[in-house]
Structure 1
């Protein structure tokens, strides 16, 4: 009874190992924005970031993942799993949108980088329940609709 289980576990480990090797898994652990652009559906997002003002200051992970070590890699693992299953089963959303949990991370990172500015804004009449990117939509990824790609999202 133990032999079939052992063989199954060894096969599973081998399949996962080969999959990680073939996909160059370790590149996804870093912060290189070209890694996020490995999939063509990210072309317009990457292109927008590349030509926008944040390119000089922030990579994808600076805005889209927490900065603490363990939460960062938990978010990257969850996102990676979502991306793999979306591509495997063909459920790629169009347009691509950050999930509500990612919206919160982005907001926290906006505040972390722009703390002095946010303090000044919060001292004024600004509503606290709004996300920074509701008004500053084009800052990180540029203006919508400027891509040469035919499927670029021009909404939200």
Structure 2
């Protein structure tokens, strides 16, 4: 991992849901089977994108760890 999080978190902290252990293992098995199939069949795309379920998991995990930072941000409508 090349991010600033490498000292504090593992891949599972980002890419696996943490709501309950059953969902955690189910998601990991389903995602692992998908990746194993793609790599076994040599069907890797040139550009990789996260699937919608993975995007939701990653976003939820960002919020799970950084809720203090994102709740203290004030948005006034201007960027």
TM-score range, shorter chain: 0.7 to 0.9
TM-score (norm 2): 0.84
Alpha carbons of 1:126 and 1:86: their partners in 2 closer, same or farther (altered >3 Å)? farther
Alpha carbons of 1:94 and 1:116: their partners in 2 closer, same or farther (altered >3 Å)? same
Q: Secondary structure at the match of 1:92?
A: coil
Q: How do residues 6-155 of structure 1 correspond to structure 2 at under 5 angstroms? A: 49=1, 51-67=2-18, 68-121=20-73, 124-125=74-75
Q: Which runs of 5+ in 1 are unaligned?
A: 1-48, 128-156
Q: Secondary structure at the match of 2:69?
A: helix
Which is bigger in relative contact order (C-alpha 8 A, separation at least 6)?
2
Larger Rg: 1
Q: Secondary structure at the match of 1:93?
A: coil
Paired residues, number: 76
> After TM superposition, where is structure 1 displaced by more than 2 Å over at least 4 residues in a row?
94-97
TM-score (norm 1): 0.45
Partner of 1:21: none
Q: Which runs of 5+ in 2 are unaligned?
A: none
